[in-house]
Amino acid sequence: MDLPVIWFVIIALLWLGYLFLEGFDFGVGMLLPVLGRDETERRVLINTIGPVWDGNEVWLLVAAGATFAAFPGWYASLFSAAYLPLLFVLLALIGRGVAFEYRGKVDSPRWRRNWDRVIVIGSWVPALGVGLVLSTNVFGLPLDARGDRVGSAFAAFQWPALLGAVAVAGFALVHGAVFLSLKTDGEIRHRARSLALRVAPVALLPLVALLVLVQSREGFTWTLVPLMLALVAVVIALLRLRVGREGQAFAGLGIALALSVVTLFGALFPDVLPSTLDVANSLTVRNAASSPYTLGVMSWVALFGTPAVLVYQGWTYWVFRKRISTAHIPPVHVP
């Protein structure tokens, strides 16, 4: 059993879970002032993710923690090189969480409006930041023989990384609109579906460009298959959305995202972090992995712990699966 390869796949799956779950989560926050035309409608939007947003963020912590434990060299080189964007991501996530909890504590339009701005910023910044870091990881960093970044903190982030940032944010925007069309009813549902259909051709274009660029620079022959299937899945998702099948459209976008992650991490393998200075300095699943004993212990923990976490989170989504509308929102109550 090749444990380093298995844990490389597990980390890719963890990032997939984060991008899928937190993707629509961020999208809802981005669209708060767009689809929420009054306070009641904004409360509807927030309530669609209210029971799950904090659980979705756990996937980021687990992905980072698994990287630290399974590939400490990968974690050290990437996270130290990307400390500035990751700091902004962390601050934005903290502000976003505080905003969800505090926006309803004072019965004041100005108070709520200010916290809504924090939610919007706290949704855009992490989506852009995560896309920046992940795409930089795929295209590589200027690493020396010790695995240290060469140059300034911003020298490592070139235009392909910026394309990745916009790609993740654009996907989150469309993903959030489709999620809202699936989770809401009434006028908000129709506006969300209409918005998703209008913006998708533009918002998803950076993701398509990113996949094509990765394939042309780093990809293998086999990674062309998931890339093409991802494009087909996007088209099918939008066609199903057009006829009002929001659940199928949401699933289609999820499949497209999964195939995109396969393309990106497939093009990256067997490296975990390429060096743009010298291929000999690249970190691979072999030279960056922890000891076999450490990976073995982690595997047993994951074997028993992961199903419990997935069942619990799945149960949460099942309990809160029904659509909501403005009719379900009670009057404002301030303690």
pLDDT tens digits for range 226-270: 999 999 999 999 999 999 899 999 999 999 999 999 999 999 999
pLDDT, tens only, 193-224: 999 999 999 999 999 999 999 999 888 999 99
Give me the torsion for CA of 107, 112, 113, 115, rounded to 10°.
160
Which candidate, 86, 78, 27, places its Cα nearest to that of 53? 27
pLDDT, tens only, 269-284: 999 999 888 888 889 9
Report the C-alpha gap between 285 and 270 in whole angstroms: 6
pLDDT band at 156 (very low <50, low <70, confident <90, very high): low
The two beta strands, 271-273 and 283-284, are: antiparallel
CA distance readout (Å), 126 to 93, 132, 171, 207:
7, 10, 13, 17
| The token pair that represents 173 in the structure block | 């925007």
- Enclosing H/E stretch for 272: strand 271-273
Name 216's Cβ contacts closer than 8 Å, sequence gap at least 6: none
Mapped onto helix, strand or coil, the DSSP state of residue 283 is: strand
pLDDT, tens only, 283-326: 999 888 899 999 999 999 888 888 888 898 889 888 888 888 87
Mean pLDDT of 7-20: 93
pLDDT score recorded for residue 55: 84
CA distance readout (Å), 11 to 3, 32, 145, 332:
12, 31, 24, 42
In the predicted model, is pLDDT for residue 38 greater than 90? no
